[in-house]
Amino acid sequence: MSKNNQEHFIQKLLPLLRKQWPKTLCEVNHRNALELMVGVILSAQSTDKTVNELTPALFKKFPTAEAFAKASPLAIEKMVMRSGFFRAKTKSILGACRMLVAKFGGRVPKTMDELLELPGIGRKSANVILGAIYGIASGIVVDTHMIRLSGRFQLTKFVEPEKIEKDLCAIVPQKEWVFFSQAMVLHGRYICIARRPRCWECHLIKICPYPDKIMEPKEVDQASAPRKTITGIPIQIRTAGR
């Protein structure tokens, strides 16, 4: 697909994506920037559901960057073990919080360059934090869902996250970057699923170039209750014929 065609596709996609996801948010539960920073570190190679089960007790015990900075590694490791790679994640959390205290007054910074200085924070995580907490359109979040969907929608030929982000930023209006990032992640997680996309529920069906569409639900789906995301957002499915 040429860049002009991609831009035209995006113009059609955005209103349909808003119809599917009129309300979006980051599914890593958080009340502030510190909690989101810790949550995104823990979410690597894990699920947001698992992270959300672990973090309430973690944040009750360590409510500030200063509290994390003074914590023993063993105390944190025990609390985050179920997230996987818990030793490396604990090291990143401690390192990031100690840097927050030493260099940023205990607060999570608001720029990409400063966030990338923090242990455990890469470009994807920095984009999540800047968008969800500060409303700053610093870039587009490229996770596994975005990689898959941008390929299915023929918006990039690359598989490397940084190259995909560059391609997407060139065709998606900057004012839409935060919404686009959050909505596409939700869409990939709940509608355009990797092995069996729920095309019969998808508002993007009429413009989607993906050839292997699945238009009929399994029998178990037909009797299921209205679905919600893990954070309780109702999934606005397409009704038949619309």
Rg (alpha carbons) of the chain, rounded to whole number:
19
For residue 16, the one-letter residue type is L
Q: Is the distance from CB of 16 to CB of 179 less than 8 angstroms?
A: no
Q: From CA 24, how far away is CA 101, in angstroms rounded?
A: 31
Residue with tokens 């990338």: 116
Q: From CA 168, how far away is CA 16, in angstroms rounded?
A: 17
Q: How far is CA 214 from CA 163, 195, 218, in A?
A: 29, 10, 10
* Closest residue by Cα to residue 212 from 226, 198, 225: 198
- Helix (H), strand (E) counts: the chain: 12, 0
Which residues are tagged catalytic?
124, 143
Q: From CA 165, how far away is CA 162, in angstroms rounded?
A: 5
